[in-house]
Amino acid sequence: MPDPTRDATTITGQTRLVAVLGDPVAQVRAPALLNRLFAARGVDIVVIPAHVRPDDLGTVVRGLQATANVVGLLVTVPHKVNVLRYADVRSAAAELAGGANALRRLDDGTWHADNFDGAGFVAGLVEAGHRPEGRHVVLVGAGGAGAAIAPALLGAGVDRLTLSDVDDTRVKEVAERLSPHWPGRIFTGTGLESADIVVNATPLGMGPDDPLPFDPAESRPGALVADIVMKPRETRLLREAAGLGRPVLPGEPMLRNQMDLYLGYFAPGA
């Protein structure tokens, strides 16, 4: 595919908008990645960052929803849970994750919330040749990202999902929300030694001095070690896992696959 560029001087009065809400927002990559995709498909939508402090979320979301050419929102930390209040309808993925990372205006003017973190992760996993069906996955981190990835893995056919987090309350909350849908397949604890796939869904690894989220040496030979951290591309976890001969999966495919999902969400048929 050529690398098309979009000339912002082509932003006109007719251009539609998607705002990315975050605090901070300076680090978000969606504007650069998604604007390129929209331009390539000839979709006259521009993605812009919106720096929104927690106390201002309602004011900003109501304002964007009242702006007729805003077609949708992307939502990142710390707003994924609270933004659900401003949706009229929620997808199963958003319900099960307990948070949304995308909202869009439906044809009838109501707002739909969805969550593509889990679908993006699973698409990246499958793309790299790691099929989830029948596997045992240990998911380390039951915060926002983990809570979104867990139901996506179960929905994709994972046989056993073990949830692990330093915060027991989080684990319990996610397990209780998902168990009615996948009874007998959700476990808590560690269980690294029997996992086919171990996923870091914590932010550990973004900072150069972060401790490891888990010790990859405890995983069995042949187990896939996946990380959702995108920066750096090769975290210390992945470097150590690769050093032990484990196959690894970085965070980038999850992000890239989400961009394709967002494209379909905001510009169906493009």
Return the active site residues. 80
Residue in the structure block whose two tokens are 């304002």: 63
Q: Which stretch binds its own copies (CB under 8 A): 4-12, 148-156, 205-213, 241-249?
A: 4-12
69 binds its own copies (CB under 8 A): yes
φ and ψ at residue 39, rounded to 5 degrees: -60, -40
Among 1, 2, 9, 269, binds its own copies (CB under 8 A): 9
The residues pairing with 160 across neighbouring beta strands, listed in sequence order, are 136
110 binds its own copies (CB under 8 A): no
Q: Least separation, in Å, of the C-beta of 43 and its own copies?
A: 12
Q: Are 75 and 258 in contact (CB under 8 A)?
A: no
Assigned token pair, 6: 């979009």
Assigned token pair, 212: 């490891």
Q: Least separation, in Å, of the C-beta of 141 and its own copies?
A: 23
Q: Are 126 and 103 in contact (CB under 8 A)?
A: no
68 binds its own copies (CB under 8 A): yes
6 binds its own copies (CB under 8 A): yes
Q: Which stretch of DSSP H or E encloses residue 21? A: strand 16-22
Q: What is the DSSP letter of 211?
A: P
Among 11, 89, 106, 217, binds its own copies (CB under 8 A): 11
Q: Which is nearer to its own copies, 69 or 194 (CB)?
A: 69
Q: Which is nearer to its own copies, 76 or 219 (CB)?
A: 76
Q: Sketch the per residue contact string, 15 through 54, with its own copies: x for CB under 8 A, - otherwise.
A: x-x--x-x-xxxxxx-xx--xx--x------xxxxxxxx-
Q: Which stretch of DSSP H or E encloses residue 102? A: strand 102-105
Query: Of the candidates 260, 30, 268, which has an alpha carbon nearest to the alpha carbon of residue 127?
Result: 260
Q: Least separation, in Å, of the C-beta of 49 and its own copies?
A: 5
Assigned token pair, 4: 């098309």
Among 1, 2, 42, 61, binds its own copies (CB under 8 A): 61
**Rounded Cα distance, 270 and 250, in Å:** 28
Q: Least separation, in Å, of the C-beta of 83 and its own copies?
A: 14
Assigned token pair, 39: 């331009």
Name the site residues for its own copies (rule: CB under 8 A).
Answer: 5-15, 17, 20, 22, 24-29, 31-32, 35-36, 39, 46-53, 56, 59-64, 66-70
